[in-house]
Structure 1
Amino acid sequence: MANIVIVTETGSDITAAEAAELGVELVPMHVAIGDVTIDDGTLDPAEMLEQCRQLGVLPHTSGSTPADFSAVFDRIHEERPEVQILYIAYSAVTTCSYQSACAAAEGRDYVSMLDTGHVTIGLALVVRKTVEHLRENPDITVEGLLEWSLAFAKRVRMGFLPGDLGYLRAGGRLSNAAFVGATLLRIKPVVELLDGRLVATRKLRGKMAACSLDFMDHMLAGAPADTSTLFFVRSCGLPLAIQQAAERRARELGFAELRWYDTQDVITSHCGPGSFGVAFAVDE
């Protein structure tokens, strides 16, 4: 393989086990639970929410710091000084992580970076497909891989149904929260990543089981999808029946590879329990 190491944040919801399988390095994001701050992925999300419930607080997230990135960049460079690092970033407009990476990369000519404009499984999809492209093209330059990855990121579509709108509002990440209005009974907003921002694009009415399928149909109603891969994401508490129905619908739509991700602490802090999302690429 080319001497390129890919780095991304834990907000991709890529687990440590998957990162090891892909050869990807993870930089931690963070969650504050009252007066205690933890690294993303170090506490079971259901336990995190229970601790917040007991304290009467909502979790608050923060991005990766320059020190977080410096630690990862230093370790890679010390262990493999010949490699180039490609940082595939969590949406820069939603967090300080990208700016932290820029600060940490000063004076390091072996670090390149790109802003995917995605979070959670949208980012995971870009990372995984970039790794696959690197493995298929081991002689590619880091400039060539960055160009390919950025072009692929522009093809990715990602959206989700939040399980509890209160978490999303509290996090301040929803660009047009006024669109959603009051939290009405059985109204569920579709939240999509548009130009790197979380935007509520549609309101669905009904139970989560029915809304989840309507949501999938909405997401796939635009440009023709590349049906090779569909990523799902779920937060703790999403009923199994909804997951099974989503898989059946995906198979009916012709998707070949289906892959589930679980939200870790940062993403759970934004979407709340019982959330459901999808990510896929549109055809070139």
Structure 2
Amino acid sequence: MSRVRIFTDSTCDLSEELLQRFQIEVVPLYVIFEEQSYQDRVNINAQQLFDFVTHTGKLPKTAAPAPIDFEKAFAPFIEAGEDIVYIGLSSELSSTIQNAAIAAGSFPDGRILVIDSRNLSTGIGVLVVKAAQAALEGRNQAEIKAIIEPVIGKIEVSFIIDTLDYLHKGGRCSSVQAFIGSLLKIRPIVTVIGGAMQLTDKVRGKREKALNQLLQNALAFKDEMDTDFMFITHAQAHEEAAYVKQQFELHTNVKNVFLTETGCVVSSHCGPHTVGIVFAKK
């Protein structure tokens, strides 16, 4: 039986420690500042992205890896006799999945399985870690697929966004919406539904109020949570993320609550001081 190697892309927002622990390979997306192109998590990080936006007032563009990028990443493992399961960014948000599938077609049939996470950030990460656990246990592609596909629709991902500036710069809310939101101190909560980001709550007032709303929304599912692990994912919000982690450790039976930081792609959409809660339901 061939060993299975798990691949994902840089939007998974998994920490380097988790990537190494579970032997997960990452194909980076691109971040483009004016004419200069960088690879997410390779030669640019979220702090550098925020510095660029502060300095220029503009958002960088992001781009999916090309099929040739996937081919180059996959080839050494295929040549070493390993099969591959790739789990990537929602096809509703990017052409990343399509390009991975194109690349998979360049290899012998059945060697590479491409799974659309229908999610982003550590919503992908939950699926990737579960797949990697199964791979390390010696499961084959078909067995991993049977484990992962039923979980896709059970992932809950919600973020509190501290500022509407990044959504405005990215064309996801109007100037009027951004102005009114800033004036009224409205802090949106964004949830992944059907593979895309949707605004589900608008909390007016202090940041602590919005953070507690996000927390209570998630804790409403505490009896339905998969207790193996969950993620608290953030962008430059270390204290708040640590507080949310503590609350889940106090009020749920989840064995491992992992803290992770967003990469450039998610950061470019949500901005600094974002906090997200990500878990799977049973």
Residue 261 of structure 2 corresponds to 262
Q: Gapped runs of 5+ residues in structure 2?
A: none
Residue 210 of structure 1 corresponds to 209
Tell me, yes or no, if the aligned pair for 2:5 and 2:135 is still in contact at 8 Å.
no
CA RMSD of aligned residues (A): 2.1
* 2:243 alignment partner AA: A
Residue 40 of structure 2 corresponds to 40
- Any residues of structure 2 matched to 1:119-158 within 5 Å, and which? 119-136=120-137, 138=138, 140-158=139-157
In structure 1, what is the Cα distance between the partners aligned to 2:83 and 2:170?
35
**TM-score, length of structure 1 as denominator length:** 0.88
**Would you say how many aligned residue pairs link Structure 1 and Structure 2?**
273
* 1:69 alignment partner AA: F
In structure 1, the residue corresponding to 2:217 is in which secondary structure?
Answer: helix
* 1:50 alignment partner AA: D
Q: Quote how far apart the aligned CAs of 1:55 are.
A: 2.7
Q: Quote how far apart the aligned CAs of 1:75 are.
A: 2.3
Residue 190 of structure 2 corresponds to 191
Tell me, yes or no, if the aligned pair for 1:122 and 1:157 is still in contact at 8 Å.
yes
In structure 1, the residue corresponding to 2:44 is in which secondary structure?
Answer: coil
Residue 19 of structure 2 corresponds to 19
Q: Quote how far apart the aligned CAs of 1:239 are.
A: 5.2
Q: Quote how far apart the aligned CAs of 1:258 are.
A: 1.0
Tell me, yes or no, if the aligned pair for 2:121 and 2:262 is still in contact at 8 Å.
yes
Tell me, yes or no, if the aligned pair for 2:31 and 2:61 is still in contact at 8 Å.
yes
Q: Quote how far apart the aligned CAs of 1:4 are.
A: 0.4
In structure 2, what is the Cα distance between the partners aligned to 1:252 and 1:152?
25
Tell me, yes or no, if the aligned pair for 1:34 and 1:55 is still in contact at 8 Å.
no
In structure 1, the residue corresponding to 2:118 is in which secondary structure?
Answer: strand
Tell me, yes or no, if the aligned pair for 1:34 and 1:57 is still in contact at 8 Å.
no
* 2:24 alignment partner AA: V
**TM-score, length of structure 2 as denominator length:** 0.89
For residues 128-171 of structure 1, the C-alpha deviation after alignment (integer angstroms, 9 at most, x for no partner) is 122123334x1x32112112111122221111012322223443
In structure 2, the residue corresponding to 1:183 is in which secondary structure?
Answer: helix
In structure 1, the residue corresponding to 2:117 is in which secondary structure?
Answer: strand
In structure 2, what is the Cα distance between the partners aligned to 1:274 and 1:124?
20
Tell me, yes or no, if the aligned pair for 1:60 and 1:171 is still in contact at 8 Å.
no
In structure 2, what is the Cα distance between the partners aligned to 1:56 and 1:213?
30
In structure 2, the residue corresponding to 1:117 is in which secondary structure?
Answer: coil
In structure 2, what is the Cα distance between the partners aligned to 1:166 and 1:85?
39
In structure 1, what is the Cα distance between the partners aligned to 2:205 and 2:56?
31
- Any residues of structure 2 matched to 1:1-284 within 5 Å, and which? 3-41=3-41, 42-78=43-79, 80=80, 82-108=81-107, 109=109, 110-136=111-137, 138=138, 140-171=139-170, 181=177, 182-184=180-182, 185-222=184-221, 224-236=224-236, 238=237, 240=239, 242-254=240-252, 255-283=254-282
Q: Quote how far apart the aligned CAs of 1:48 are.
A: 2.2
Q: Gapped runs of 5+ residues in structure 1?
A: none
Q: Quote how far apart the aligned CAs of 1:66 are.
A: 1.0
Equivalent pairs: percent with the same residue?
23
